[in-house]
Amino acid sequence: MATGRIEIDFERCKACELCVPVCPKNCIEMGKEINRQGYTAAVFARPDDCTGCALCAETCPDVCIRVWR
Protein backbone atom coordinates (compact mmCIF):
# COMPACT_ATOMS: atom_id res chain seq x y z
CA MET A 1 0.00 0.00 0.00
CA ALA A 2 1.39 3.33 -1.02
CA THR A 3 1.95 5.86 1.76
CA GLY A 4 2.98 8.55 -0.67
CA ARG A 5 2.26 9.91 -4.08
CA ILE A 6 4.21 11.99 -6.60
CA GLU A 7 3.25 13.95 -9.68
CA ILE A 8 5.76 14.51 -12.47
CA ASP A 9 5.18 17.55 -14.65
CA PHE A 10 5.23 15.91 -18.09
CA GLU A 11 5.90 19.11 -20.06
CA ARG A 12 8.62 20.39 -17.72
CA CYS A 13 10.69 17.16 -17.53
CA LYS A 14 13.91 17.08 -19.57
CA ALA A 15 14.54 13.34 -19.19
CA CYS A 16 17.90 13.77 -17.40
CA GLU A 17 17.18 10.52 -15.52
CA LEU A 18 18.61 11.81 -12.22
CA CYS A 19 15.40 10.89 -10.34
CA VAL A 20 15.42 7.24 -11.48
CA PRO A 21 18.31 5.81 -9.38
CA VAL A 22 17.58 7.91 -6.25
CA CYS A 23 14.17 6.30 -5.70
CA PRO A 24 14.71 3.61 -3.03
CA LYS A 25 11.63 1.74 -4.28
CA ASN A 26 12.33 2.07 -8.03
CA CYS A 27 9.00 3.76 -8.64
CA ILE A 28 10.18 6.00 -11.49
CA GLU A 29 10.98 4.95 -15.03
CA MET A 30 11.81 6.76 -18.22
CA GLY A 31 8.71 7.08 -20.38
CA LYS A 32 8.23 6.53 -24.09
CA GLU A 33 6.07 9.54 -24.85
CA ILE A 34 7.77 12.70 -26.10
CA ASN A 35 6.79 16.02 -24.54
CA ARG A 36 6.62 19.43 -26.22
CA GLN A 37 10.27 20.13 -25.41
CA GLY A 38 11.24 16.94 -27.26
CA TYR A 39 12.19 14.80 -24.27
CA THR A 40 10.88 11.40 -23.24
CA ALA A 41 9.73 12.48 -19.80
CA ALA A 42 10.02 10.30 -16.70
CA VAL A 43 6.87 8.52 -15.53
CA PHE A 44 5.59 7.41 -12.13
CA ALA A 45 5.54 3.73 -13.09
CA ARG A 46 4.92 1.97 -9.75
CA PRO A 47 2.68 4.20 -7.61
CA ASP A 48 1.86 1.34 -5.21
CA ASP A 49 5.40 1.29 -3.77
CA CYS A 50 5.79 5.05 -3.21
CA THR A 51 6.53 6.12 0.37
CA GLY A 52 6.58 9.86 -0.34
CA CYS A 53 10.21 10.22 0.78
CA ALA A 54 10.68 13.11 -1.70
CA LEU A 55 14.24 12.13 -2.65
CA CYS A 56 13.22 12.34 -6.34
CA ALA A 57 11.83 15.84 -5.87
CA GLU A 58 14.95 16.88 -3.97
CA THR A 59 17.10 15.67 -6.88
CA CYS A 60 15.09 16.96 -9.85
CA PRO A 61 17.03 19.94 -11.29
CA ASP A 62 13.95 21.24 -13.08
CA VAL A 63 11.68 21.04 -10.03
CA CYS A 64 9.09 18.95 -11.94
CA ILE A 65 8.08 16.69 -9.07
CA ARG A 66 5.50 17.37 -6.37
CA VAL A 67 5.12 14.99 -3.45
CA TRP A 68 2.29 14.05 -1.12
CA ARG A 69 2.63 11.91 1.98
Q: Which positions lie near another protein, rule CB under 8 A? A: 4-5, 12, 14-18, 21-22, 37, 39, 52, 54-55, 57-63, 65-69
Separation of alpha carbons 3 and 8, rounded Å: 17
Q: Which of 27, 55, 28, 52 is nearest to 42 (CA)?
A: 28
Q: Give 30 or 45: the residue with its C-beta nearer to another protein.
A: 30
CB of 26 to another protein, least distance (A): 15
List of residues 6+ apart from 21 with CB closer than 8 A: none
Q: Give 45 or 58: the residue with its C-beta nearer to another protein.
A: 58
